[in-house]
Amino acid sequence: MIKIILGSTLGLFLLIVAILAFTVFNCFRKKTPAKKGLETELERMFPGQFQVLLHNLKMLDVMVQIQGNKQAVIGEMADPEVQFLLDWHKGTEGASFDSSTVMTAHERAKKEVAQAR
């Protein structure tokens, strides 16, 4: 049956048209938006100010992993010694933390580093 379809010129033409149609429609399919992660949310809220040093500090607790709770070490780009912990939730719409939480933890970390120096 396949030999008959591919053997004829019309069958070969239809096969090529079908492959081209799938290729063209695949190019225009709806792209899913990039997932918002911790890095993208920090960069959106505080451009060029913070960097994520360590991800997922709670990885040994299975229930926390299932629930999507995460913890990360965030460092200031201007002064790498200023570091603080940030709890966040993976898979939420937007950021699972607000800017006031980040700023409070950042100010506390700056005070602790200043006292240590």
Place of tokens 């492959």: 19
The C-alpha atoms of residue 80 and residue 74 are separated, in whole angstroms, by: 9
pLDDT at position 20 is 81
Which domains are seen in the chain, by residue range?
A: 1-31 (no CATH), 38-116 (3.10.450)
The C-alpha atoms of residue 22 and residue 54 are separated, in whole angstroms, by: 42
The C-alpha atoms of residue 47 and residue 12 are separated, in whole angstroms, by: 55
pLDDT by residue for the chain (117 residues), tens digit each? 555 555 677 777 777 888 887 777 776 666 655 556 788 888 888 898 999 888 776 666 677 666 777 888 999 999 889 999 888 877 666 667 788 888 999 999 999 999 988
Q: Which of 59, 43, 62 is nearest to 51 (CA)?
A: 43
pLDDT at position 90 is 72
pLDDT at position 104 is 93
Q: What is the model's pTM?
A: 0.61
pLDDT at position 34 is 52
Q: Which of 99, 49, 101 is nearest to 79 (CA)?
A: 49
Written as six digits, the tokens of 21 are 């149609």
**Would you list the DSSP string of 34-68?**
PPP-HHHHHHHHSTTTEEEEE--TTTT-HHHHHHT
